Structure 1
Amino acid sequence: MSDFPWVRFFPSDWLAGTRGMSAVETGVYITLVATMYERGEPIPEDQARLARLCGASNSAFKKALDTLIEEGKITRVNGGLWNDRVEKEKVYLSEKSEVARRAGKMSAEKRKQNQEAEATPVQRPFNGRSTKPEARSQKPEATLSSVAAPPAAQADFDQLQSKLTEAVDGKIQPHGSFVVGPIAELMANGVSLELDVIPV
């Protein structure tokens, strides 16, 4: 299975980046990039095979490839043909996966601690009443995502939104804002905003 079962695709970036290209150049470009994502590594420069893959004649493929290399869309590397955006996405997905792995590990540890705490027997004095200050019927503690944020928490959410927006130079797609609740919960579980979230 591919290392890239999905990738971020921004239509406005794609249209801007391919404006002025011929239909053949655009078709060759997207097919080569998709193949790089599928392989997760540079593709060997076997022009006859790649021309067939792109559905182009050898001469049309060679002309399109020369243009793409000249414009910096495709680069020649030791392993064959490569694309800088594919490399960036590879790093992005790797970092995102690492953050999710850490968050999952911390969540599992917290669940285990909660289960151990709940499994601890209740100490009962001679009169048979529980010495635990809380009763079992109490509602569980609310999480950041389960309640409306009070004014102070809303200010924290606004500050978090501002930091995240600043980290991506204001280029947020597609909605122009972040859903900060899940990020705030990760931070509450020990994930570092500066070390784990913002670099991704």
Structure 2
Amino acid sequence: MKKQCVILLCVFALFVVLCPGSSFAKDQKYAVNAGGWGVLGLDLEAFVRAVEFETLLSDNLSILGRISALDYDYDESRYEEDGDGIGLGAGVRYYFSGSGLKQGCYLGGSLEFWDVEYDFQEYTRFGEGDLKAVNVSAEVGYHIMFNDNIGIVPNARLGNFFTFDEDCNYSNGQSCGDNSELGLYLVLGVLFTFAF
């Protein structure tokens, strides 16, 4: 009986939140966005998964916090690199329509701090490294809402990783200097959004 009551309460809460006519759904000031960006190229495969919390400051302007996970594989025959990392950052978005999180085009930018570990092979030599970097990016996207609360946000990001601390060593312990191929990128992605 207790389990059925909890399920019923959850279904009711979900109905209230998702119902387009509910008073809860009329004035969205917050959004939780989850999704990712990816790139497939001749030498590179990369995917970033992210969760964001976005807050409207006005009908045109929002700020956000983001946690991201990166997984990439770079292969140009003589040099191969496989890495992953975690990023934390903040950003801002400007909505041209003036309707905030409801619908429309936006332009944004973000600043993130990344901690990345990677393995590499250079000819017949192997090694590993880790780096700390600042990622600066600009993005353009469009909110497509299915109802007052649920939607998708296709977008594109252009950015660059600026490494400020890198430790790289060959498998024999010898230092290899700054080795990572992280740098300038252009990625396409989709976020699923829940506005409330």
Q: TM-score, normalised by structure 1?
A: 0.24
Query: Higher relative contact order by CA 8 Å / sep ≥ 6: 1 or 2?
Result: 2
Q: Which has the larger radius of gyration?
A: 1
- TM-score, normalised with respect to structure 2: 0.24
Higher helix share: 1
Higher percent of residues as strand:
2
